[in-house]
Structure 1
Amino acid sequence: MVNLSTNEAAKPPSAVDDLYEEADDWHVNTGGETIHAKRIPGRWRTFKWLMASVWLIFFLGPYLRWDGRQAVLFDIPNRQYHIFSATVLPQDFWMLSLLLLFFAILLAVLTALAGRVWCGYFCFQTVWTDLFTWIEEKLEGPPAARRKLDQAPLTARKARIKGTKHILWILIGFFTGLSFVAWFTDAPRLWSTFFTGQANGAAYTTVALFTAGTYVLAGFLREQTCFWLCPYARIQGVMLDKTTILPTYDEKRGEPRGRVKRGGKEEGRATGDCVDCNQCVVVCPTGVDIRRGQQEGCITCALCIDACDQVMEKVGRPRGLIRYASLDEIEGRPTKRMILRPRVWVYSTILIVALAGIVYGLTSLAPVELKVLHERAPLFVLQSDGSIQNKYTLKILNKTPEPVTVRVSASGHDDLILMGAEDPILSEAGGVTPTNVFVRIPERALKSEQQPITFYIDGTRASGTPVEAERESVFIGPRR
């Protein structure tokens, strides 16, 4: 897609026409044909598999145990989020905002520096599609054989191959959904309840949706998801500049292109290095021709680099006709070092601040928290013995997975008397326990209308670990 700015629209008609002609040269598969990309080995294909293997954490992570429970568990019904030894409650969800900010900026900085590397190497749509097409190739053969099988009439052999492929696709979708649910409930218990019909309806619905979604998106829509459903594919163009490093065809070196006969002799008048073998096109999972310039369909997977480098080696020409390069480098302009680019500094600063906030939040999580609410109506009560009484509501937040017994105390005045906190208070695991207490101070001992006081709680967890917390408040008396 080409967007014409006001200045571009004001150019002579020939300049505008050139932009439209450039857009016409782009080839975007709109779903009229199935892309059967060729798979070839190479360093970028190996790198792509290595990066995709990160998603094994998604499947295996729920089974990691920590202190006798699931290491990472997002317990939504009980509003508790266990991350190893830390328990995050909704009150600490300000860290989620920082986490989302961190990943949003990380995506932006990766795009600004190296294009759509998220799409090419990490995106679940790309990874699952790659896995599905790998299974397809193992069962149906290389691209030419797959096209021939698609066009062949239905036979017992075709039904067997296609049926096996679709069963494997559905199984992958099913385990994708089951693994997703396992992050929100105890994984071993999920297996025992799911297949015996004892799991809740939300689990069955979620697994069904993930199974169908994975099967359709990765098995049938494939690159169409990237073209028409993914918003990132639409906005990534404004995040690039002339210094962004992308898989790029060196047109000055490659053109004019022409085929090479055996023995290294060129056909026609071609003097460029491109031998017009189209291998860069047949390996592209989205079916674009990198030689036509940067296009919306390019997901920066660099598989075209592997294909071109292998051909260059075979014809005895230097590698790198297609390579990771910036527009400045291709056009021969001076290139700035990455560390000298202002955008890198801005993005890096935001990343560091967000990450520091997340680390601080996780490391400073207290096992219990205390909140103090002063009674507003009335602010104080004059007792018959001449003392002033204030009422407070203490809210004890227990962030641990076990009950905690605490005692309440207060300080801030020598004549302070705390009432209603004589007995220990049992705070249930992962919940808020409210309790009312009263503080009395003789009126003659008050030196000002407001007197700062501090409430304390201390106790032990069921495991014997001590806990404590404090909160400042104020004691209010009559005006002086």
Structure 2
Amino acid sequence: MSKPIDIPVRVELYDHLNEWEVNTGEQGKVVPRRMKGRYRTLKNYGMCVWLIYFLMPYLRWDNRQAILFDIPDRQFHIFAATIYPQDIWVLSLTLLFFAILLAAATSIAGRVFCGYFCFQTVWTDVFTFIEGKLEGNTPFKRSQFTAMPWTVMKLTRKVVKHGLWIGISLLTGLTFSAWFTDAYQLWGDVLQLQAATPVWVALAIFTFFTYWFAGFMREQVCFWLCPYARLQGVMYDQDTVLPAYDATRGEPRGKFTRQATDNKGACIDCKLCVAVCPTGIDIRKGQQEGCITCGLCIDACDSIMDKINQPRGLIRYASYKELHQGKKTISLFKRPRALVYGFILLLSVSGVIYGFSSFSPTEFTVTQQRKPLYIRMSNGDIQNKYTLKLLNKTDAVLEIQYHVSGLEEATVIGLDKTFKVEPGRVIPITAFVRLPVYMQDESNLHKIEFVATAVNNPEITDTYESVFITPP
């Protein structure tokens, strides 16, 4: 049999094999065969990431939930940090980071998110695993089970399967709500049927769609409902590595024989790569819309190559340039798209780190009344009106004392006492600042600084620079 290096690259061969497949679901649900392999192991590890979704709401931090998105109080608690609407830009940068990371991963290695981390892929894999254990994990075994007459055993397996599916779906919906309210209290309210209406709505929606999508629609969600599946194709280039069939080595196909021949390819047409594919495509027909880049077809093909004493890699992660043009894939450091993505990722990470490390315990603003800009008193003094607002971002009550600096001889009315600000609250304070007539000069704009100090915590001090306006 010819070695891969002895066979010239022929684009015409790939063009001849290419055949666009679209799974419309008319052939029934895909029943993928499960088998061990390095990419199956990677997929299992990737699926474990979703344990964070299920377990994180029960982690406590400083006598409260470690991560809590408190929508009614407009507070996002992330361990020791509390994010208010004024700091939402930090979360925006975090979302930007993950969005660009998703695009960067797609341009480098295809739909690896879909294959290893996507919630639809993960939940479908779990549901099919349960179904395979109870009803058969191959099309033949499944058809045998389906053709069986209804017996107690068959009915029991059906009930257990759907019971587990519904249980996982209920847990998914309940966990979603746990990110927005105290998880332990949520369980008590649900078990006592005293949960709020939004909880029941979220539980019903997530339970139904998890059960329906993962249990019945499965790969059809990727084909017809997922917008990202349609967008990812435009992110590829000739250097993107994807699971691909090496046609120059595998063709012409033929049944395995012990006697090697020079005119026979390495592919023995066992169709195991199709049998393990969760979307039911044939990778040998070129890139398909349904390919989620999970690499399970590589595990299947490598296992066959090992059995027939052939080198692995007939199906492997490879770029279009490598297979069709015989060229090496360009290094990531020489690809403009990867460099741009990397630069944006670096900026967003820097912004997130800066944001979380520079949170202030208070948010202090001063608004000057513009109508009128100033008032001339009967004795000639000029008065400006200000509204002071301080947001308490700490978990304790702050006793705030205000004072003004920057204008000598100015008198302040309304700031002569201490104000208590509850955690997460804002108390607007109205202040009048008067400047004696003998202190006025040719300039009509004077710098003034408002200072807010926590009496019960002197380390908390905030300032705001404003202006005092006098007649021209």
Output the TM-score relative to the length of structure 2: 0.93
Aligned residue in 2 for 1:183: 179
Shift of 1:142: 2.6
Determine if contact 2:20/2:288 at 8 Å carries over to the other structure.
no
Aligned residue in 1 for 2:397: 403
Aligned-pair Cα RMSD in Å: 1.8
Task: Provide the rounded CA distance (Å) in 1 between the counterparts of 2:379 and 2:95.
Answer: 57
Helix, strand or coil at the partner of 1:93: helix
Shift of 1:373: 0.6
Task: Provide the rounded CA distance (Å) in 2 between the counterparts of 1:280 and 1:314.
Answer: 15
Task: Provide the rounded CA distance (Å) in 2 between the counterparts of 1:387 and 1:440.
Answer: 6
Shift of 1:101: 2.0
Shift of 1:31: 4.3
Aligned residue in 2 for 1:60: 55
Aligned residue in 2 for 1:37: 32
Dislocated runs of 4+, deviation >4 Å: 21-25
Helix, strand or coil at the partner of 1:265: coil
Q: 2:369 aligns with which of 368, 371, 375?
A: 375
Kindly indicate whether residue 338 of structure 2 is the aligned counterpart of residue 338 of structure 1: no
Task: Provide the rounded CA distance (Å) in 2 between the counterparts of 1:460 and 1:123.
Answer: 50
Q: Which amino acid aligns with 2:134?
A: L
Structure-to-structure mapping, 1:289-328, within 5 angstroms: 289-328=282-321
Determine if contact 2:223/2:290 at 8 Å carries over to the other structure.
yes
- 1:134-193 deviation line (CA, Å, top 9, x unaligned): 111222233132222123333322111111000000000000011110000011111111
Extract unaligned runs of 5+ from structure 1. Answer: 1-17
Aligned residue in 2 for 1:4: none
Q: Which amino acid aligns with 1:225?
A: V
Task: Provide the rounded CA distance (Å) in 1 between the counterparts of 2:312 and 2:18.
Answer: 29
Structure-to-structure mapping, 1:137-176, within 5 angstroms: 137-143=132-138, 144-176=140-172
- 1:106-125 deviation line (CA, Å, top 9, x unaligned): 11111100000000000000
Aligned residue in 2 for 1:6: none
Number of equivalences: 456
Determine if contact 2:387/2:430 at 8 Å carries over to the other structure.
yes
Q: Percent identity?
A: 50
Output the TM-score relative to the length of structure 1: 0.91
Shift of 1:22: 7.1
Extract unaligned runs of 5+ from structure 2. Answer: 1-13
Q: 1:431 aligns with which of 425, 429, 443?
A: 425
Compare 416-425 and 383-392 and name the one that shifted more: 383-392
More relative contact order, 1 or 2 (CA 8 Å, 6+ apart): 2
Kindly indicate whether residue 202 of structure 2 is the aligned counterpart of residue 206 of structure 1: yes
Using a 3 Å threshold, how does the CA distance of structure 1 residues 318 and 465 change in structure 2: closer, same or farther?
farther
Aligned residue in 2 for 1:9: none
Kindly indicate whether residue 55 of structure 2 is the aligned counterpart of residue 46 of structure 1: no
Shift of 1:24: 5.0
- 1:221-245 deviation line (CA, Å, top 9, x unaligned): 0000000000011111111011001
Helix, strand or coil at the partner of 2:77: strand
Task: Provide the rounded CA distance (Å) in 1 between the counterparts of 2:470 and 2:361.
Answer: 34
Helix, strand or coil at the partner of 1:358: helix
Determine if contact 1:62/1:73 at 8 Å carries over to the other structure.
yes
Shift of 1:324: 0.7
Kindly indicate whether residue 110 of structure 2 is the aligned counterpart of residue 115 of structure 1: yes
Task: Provide the rounded CA distance (Å) in 2 between the counterparts of 1:281 and 1:395.
Answer: 64
Determine if contact 1:257/1:270 at 8 Å carries over to the other structure.
no
Determine if contact 1:74/1:80 at 8 Å carries over to the other structure.
yes
Task: Provide the rounded CA distance (Å) in 2 between the counterparts of 1:260 and 1:41.
Answer: 23
- 1:2-60 deviation line (CA, Å, top 9, x unaligned): xxxxxxxxxxxxxxxx98x9775525243431111000011110110001101000000
Task: Provide the rounded CA distance (Å) in 1 between the counterparts of 2:314 and 2:27.
Answer: 31
Kindly indicate whether residue 85 of structure 2 is the aligned counterpart of residue 90 of structure 1: yes
Helix, strand or coil at the partner of 1:452: strand
Shift of 1:278: 0.6
